[in-house]
Amino acid sequence: MAQPEDSENTNPEAVEEQQNTGVDKGQDYGAAQIDKLEGLEAVRKRPGMYIGDPDVRGLHHCVFEVLDNSIDEHLAGYCDVIKVTINVDGSVSVADDGRGIPVDIHPKFGVPAVELVLTNLHAGGKFGQGAYKYSGGLHGVGAKCVNALSDWFRAEVRRDGKVHAISFERGKTVQPLEVIGEIDTSVTGTTISFFPDATIFVDTIDFEFERLGTRLRELAFLNPGLTIELEDERPESAKQEKFFYARGIEEFVEQLGENKTLIHSDPIVLNGKRDVEVDYDGKITRDDVFVDCVFQYNDSYKEQILCFANSIPNADGGTHLTGFRGALTRAINNYAKSNKILKDKDPSLSGEDVREGIVCVISVKMPNPRFSSQTKDKLVNAEIESVVSSVVYEGLQTYFEENPALSKQIIDKAVNAARAREAARKARETVRKSVLSGGGLPGKLADCSERDPAKSEIFIVEGDSAGGSAKAGRNRINQAILPLRGKVINVEKARLHRALQNKEIQAMITAIGAGIGDGEQEGAFNIDKVRYHKVIIMTDADVDGSHIKTLLLTFFCRHMPELVQAGYLYVAQPPLYKITRKKREEYIADDAQLNRILIQLGSEDVKIRKVNSDQVIEESLLKELLELLASLRRFVSIVEGHGGSFRELLARRNGTRLPEYLVRVRTGNDEEIIYFEDEKALLSYAEDNRDLRLFGEELTEEEEKEFREKFSGALRRAVKRELHESHAIEKLLARINELGLETDPFYSDDKPIYETVEGSGDDAEVTPLFNLFEILERVLEVGRKGMRIQRFKGLGEMNAKELYNTTMDPEKRILLQVRLDEDNSLEADRMFDVLMGDVVEPRKRFIEDNALNVRNLDV
């Protein structure tokens, strides 16, 4: 190996050592090689140590770090309202009505306290000085980490009758603390605003309303009496939501179980307080720990337990989870044995058995909690295990004695779970033995020759026909094919032993090679044994294909969640269309891409001009205008799908502002659509029309009777729809105007506004257009001339070469990675319950709510 040209090492032995090991052992290592990162530089250099990876999750974790300080103010008894705002420029503000961060000069460090806590690691009021007793922020690094990772960061403090402000850029003070106004002395609080640094968060700096909303909803549940408001002021996604729950985590558990068939209607609520020894940096003192535990059983086959310490979510559980599990298992077994529900000779129920079908939230409030890392995923305080165990065990003993019938129901469910677990063990053993005796792999699997899982991928293909094309077209070195015949069992409605009897399920388990199910028993899932690091679901684009894809996703997310969490599961995106025009042949992924091609082709052959004018839309602008009109049409179709009229919407326009609400009012068989500029106008109308029952609320018999007597006629029912589309429509109309296509008038009934000219001279074909959408329709029509469009419904319609080139070739294909992490796990669980569970009503409601958004439904 030749020595690198820029090397200065001339020692032959050192050079040889470097060539053999890849390490330059001739390099100096002394005091000059030791460096120290000043201030918040360490956070910028190694953000992963403080907020996790600087991806979309890390971005939102910044908001939660700032939010934790406001929650700590609430826990201390000083904050009732928190407002989180995604500002128009993409920054985020977190405002609370707490005491306000201290602004006086620190006696030891000589700087304002607010500047100290926002710029110095491990500076804060949570180290035993008495400012916070039950805090989620412990290490004094949260807000200052956000400061370090922000392009700009601003703190505004309302305290002592004054408004103070201080500004930072990338962790460094650029505007010292100053008084910017006066305020009533009763008004206090802190507002933190920041804009993430795009050089750190290279994946994205766009905050997601839904992701923030999930966490804020949790916090409102965990802190009854606290109001949390979330608002998105960005025009393209403007919306707002308020979270307030008077009964706290009891309502949380009810919501988690709302799409399931419940064993008992009311959640079991256990709470208590214990006095424990707390270690404050070597100083032992006694303090109170509060435990709130609420759970409810349903007839599903999985457990869902969420753990929180001082309102911080602990995705990996910890000692509070261990304490709950042990107490639940012990309490149920003791009650079952003492009341002869289980015979003495019967084996004890396992923890897995007694937790089947449970939805539980455990919340502890404690001084000086300790976590396994700054991301606080796991609580490690050893003393908490016995505290939670004591509260849960004693509470359950009392509850079971007072509710014997319900107790028997819970124990009977656990007994059935134990029987099913044993059946699953036997079924798993049968599958394992059949695999070994059959050579280890299913016969229908066409395996690849590569043995490194990181380089291997398996396509799970719908049907033998598509499987045949995939086998013929694949790269045999690293692409395996497993064709499935028919639909796999819906595992959401079946226990594991039933699922293991399904031959298609068996084939997938044995092909992947990592086992199935939880626990330590032989045959349980082991991520290290996965044979392919890309498991790709490849189904047809029709209804059956979508159903099979959903069944497979349900199977993997329910019984191999570790595989999904590792990022190994993907969904292939076969093309929707094949277009042929002259000698041009192209595969199209979706309707949006097809429209772009039609627009490109049509705009080359047609000109747009204003009627009675020489004004012609330049070709360079025409494509953008047409794409804007295509986007506009999508938003308009949604509005009209809900009963609105775009023409009426434009007629109600106030300046550049479109109505923000649409209300469908029904009186008997009559229906009326009314538009409102904003919520204030809507509520004013409802106040003036007292017989109007807003938003489709259900009336009790007494209410209905009272209404009818009061208004002596049919009730007027109304369903409100917030027109978020209005903001997007306004933005599109403004841009279309900027490019020279006048949007007023948009429609004309008597004379054309624009016209298209196709060709030239006397042979030119002129088509009059009476609204702007007709421009788009005409150009698309021209683009389709001489074009053959073939829509694929099944993979089997493509030959082997086509299938590989469009769907399997790593250089050309599009794959969707399936993600399942703690930020989306609750929503994913809810959707599986709705779409695949036993309860019909939530599924019916989901279909009704989303039917108007369906595109290209093949039936």
pLDDT in tens, 288-327: 899 999 999 988 888 899 999 988 888 889 999 999 999 9
Q: Quick one: DSSP state of residue 550?
A: H
Q: What is the pLDDT of residue 623?
A: 83
Q: Is the peptide bond before 196 cis (omega within 30 degrees of 0)?
A: no
- CA-to-CA distance for 513 and 563, rounded, in angstroms? 12
pLDDT above 70: residue 434: no
| Residue 56, C-beta contacts closer than 8 angstroms, at least 6 positions apart | 203, 204, 208, 211
Per-residue model confidence as pLDDT tens digits over 187-206: 999 999 999 998 888 888 99
Who wins on pLDDT, 177 or 11?
177
Smallest Cα–Cα separation from 838: which of 357, 258, 417, 300? 300
- CA-to-CA distance for 495 and 838, rounded, in angstroms? 13
Give strand pairing partners of 450: none
pLDDT above 70: residue 334: yes
The alpha carbon torsion through 323, 290, 220, 303 (nearest 10 deg) reads 10
pLDDT band at 17; cut points 50, 70, 90: very low
Amino acid at site 499: A
- CA-to-CA distance for 659 and 270, rounded, in angstroms? 48
- CA-to-CA distance for 196 and 54, rounded, in angstroms? 10
pLDDT above 60: residue 260: yes
Which element (helix H / strand E) includes 229? Answer: strand 227-232
pLDDT band at 230; cut points 50, 70, 90: very high
Distances (CA, A) of 689 to 686, 708, 727: 5, 14, 28
pLDDT above 90: residue 359: yes
**Which of the following is catalytic: 316, 383, 542, 691?**
542
Q: What is the pLDDT of residue 692?
A: 65
pLDDT above 50: residue 2: no
Quick count: other Cβ atoms within 10 Å of Cβ 26? 15
Measure CA 287 to chain center. Answer: 38
Distances (CA, A) of 858 to 540, 626, 665, 708: 11, 28, 33, 45
Contact 385, 320 (CB under 8 A): yes
Q: Look up 544 and say whether it is catalytic.
A: yes
Measure CA 56 to chain center. Answer: 11
For residue 556, how many C-alpha atoms fall within 13 Å in the half-sphere facing its CB?
A: 26
Q: What is the pLDDT of residue 654?
A: 82
Q: Look up 151 and say whether it is catalytic.
A: no
Who wins on pLDDT, 498 or 39?
498
- For the chain, what percent of residues have pLDDT higher than 90? 23
pLDDT above 60: residue 10: no
Who wins on pLDDT, 599 or 717?
599
Per-residue model confidence as pLDDT tens digits over 755-770: 888 877 777 788 888 9
What tokens appear for 339 in the block? 């009341």
What tokens appear for 61 in the block? 């974790």
- For the chain, what percent of residues have pLDDT higher than 70? 80
Q: What is the pLDDT of residue 75?
A: 82
Q: What is the pLDDT of residue 251?
A: 92
Q: What is the pLDDT of residue 135?
A: 52
Who wins on pLDDT, 562 or 24?
562
In 764-856, beta strands by DSSP E:
765-769, 787-791, 815-817
Contact 294, 250 (CB under 8 A): yes
Which element (helix H / strand E) includes 64? Answer: helix 56-75
Per-residue model confidence as pLDDT tens digits over 52-82: 678 888 889 889 889 988 988 888 888 999 9
Which element (helix H / strand E) includes 722? Answer: strand 716-722
Collapsing DSSP to helix, strand or coil, 623 comes out as helix
- SS3 of 141-200: the string is CHHHHHHHCEEEEEEEEEECCEEEEEEEECCEEEEEEEEEEECCCCCCEEEEEEEECCCC
- CA-to-CA distance for 794 and 469, rounded, in angstroms? 12
Collapsing DSSP to helix, strand or coil, 536 comes out as strand
pLDDT band at 523; cut points 50, 70, 90: low
Rg, Å, the chain Cα set: 32
**Which of the following is catalytic: 232, 254, 292, 540?**
540
Smallest Cα–Cα separation from 59: which of 246, 209, 196, 229? 196
| Residue 157, C-beta contacts closer than 8 angstroms, at least 6 positions apart | 100, 101, 103, 114, 163, 164, 165, 189, 190
What tokens appear for 778 in the block? 């005409």
Contact 143, 122 (CB under 8 A): no
Q: What is the pLDDT of residue 641?
A: 78
- CA-to-CA distance for 249 and 265, rounded, in angstroms? 15
Give strand pairing partners of 262: 298
For residue 122, how many C-alpha atoms fall within 13 Å in the half-sphere facing its CB?
A: 1
pLDDT above 50: residue 142: yes
Lowest-pLDDT range of 112-116, 407-411, 738-742: 738-742
**Which of the following is catalytic: 462, 492, 797, 823?**
462
Per-residue model confidence as pLDDT tens digits over 693-734: 655 455 567 766 666 666 555 566 677 777 878 878 888 888
Contact 86, 233 (CB under 8 A): yes
Smallest Cα–Cα separation from 374: which of 58, 116, 6? 58
For residue 715, how many C-alpha atoms fall within 13 Å in the half-sphere facing its CB?
A: 17
pLDDT above 50: residue 789: yes
Collapsing DSSP to helix, strand or coil, 285 comes out as strand
- Angle, alpha carbons 317-514-299 (nearest 5°): 55
Smallest Cα–Cα separation from 506: which of 444, 566, 558? 444
What average pLDDT does the chain have? Answer: 80
Query: Stretch 582-593: mean pLDDT, rounded?
Result: 77
Q: Look up 765 and say whether it is catalytic.
A: no
Query: Stretch 31-38: mean pLDDT, rounded?
Result: 43
Q: Quick one: DSSP state of residue 824?
A: T
pLDDT above 50: residue 139: no
- Angle, alpha carbons 538-541-545 (nearest 5°): 65
Q: Look up 640 and say whether it is catalytic.
A: no
Q: What is the pTM of this model?
A: 0.60
**Which of the following is catalytic: 229, 544, 590, 591?**
544
Per-residue model confidence as pLDDT tens digits over 801-857: 888 988 999 998 889 999 876 656 666 666 666 666 666 666 666 555 555 555 444
Q: What is the pLDDT of residue 188?
A: 93
Measure CA 170 to chain center. Answer: 28
Q: Quick one: DSSP state of residue 486?
A: S
Query: Stretch 533-559: mean pLDDT, rounded?
Result: 86
Q: What is the pLDDT of residue 386?
A: 93
pLDDT band at 790; cut points 50, 70, 90: confident
